[in-house]
Amino acid sequence: MRRREEYAYVLDVLPPELAAYKLPAKVRREFPRDSTFAHLLGEEYFTLLEVTLKPGVKVELGERVYVGAGQRDKVDKIVRRIRYEDLQPPARELLPQLVRQIVASREQKFVDWFNKAGPITLKMHSFELLHGIGKKKLQEILAERKKRPFQSFEDIRQRLGVDPIELVVNRILSEIQEKDPYYLFASPPPQETI
């Protein structure tokens, strides 16, 4: 199943000369020389995207833009999915802040995950992929959610003594940076970069 983003956040705007330098010649020929490229972070699956902006359009770093099917107001074309290593240093610096913003704004989605997460293998639970969660804390989480479902990030914080936002943000960043073969929240990286 292909995961498609509807909205994304602007990580970086690349001047045409830098974007042209990084793109393979075959792809470069498809776009006008003065195309403005941007790197975006998807809101739903944390997919890294390279897009072209519509002529004359300006975007701000951190701005939420529509990238779904149909008429887009600022994004012209989605060029390709990219990897973390394709990001420029300023985009890498902005990435944790935007991931945190997305997680905080989608609290119910992640609270539901804490209530429903299950094992990945016979010997490993999803919670163990969160930095700092070992077997003892895993048992505590499972016992607490069995008593009653978690209601909010604050409820998780109070009952477990952990910061759920920090746990999820660190996991997402780890997945985007391809540090682990398991993907709980982010889209796996593209198989091939063009």
Same domain, 128 and 77: no
Q: Is the pLDDT of residue 13 over 90?
A: yes
Same domain, 62 and 112: no
48-86 burial string, b = 16+ CB within 10 Å, else e? bbbbbbeeeeebeeeebbebeeeebebbbebbbbbebee
- What per-residue confidence (pLDDT) applies to 29? 63
Question: 28-39, pLDDT tens digit by residue?
Answer: 666 667 788 999
Residue 160 falls in which region: left (phi positive, over 0), alpha (psi -120 to 50) or beta: alpha
Domain count, the chain: 2
Domain that holds residue 31: 7-86
pLDDT band for 47, please (50, 70, 90 cuts): very high
- What per-residue confidence (pLDDT) applies to 14? 87
Longest dimension (CA), the chain: 60
Same domain, 15 and 79: yes
pTM, rounded to two decimals: 0.91
Token pair, residue 34, equals: 């003065």
- What per-residue confidence (pLDDT) applies to 128? 97
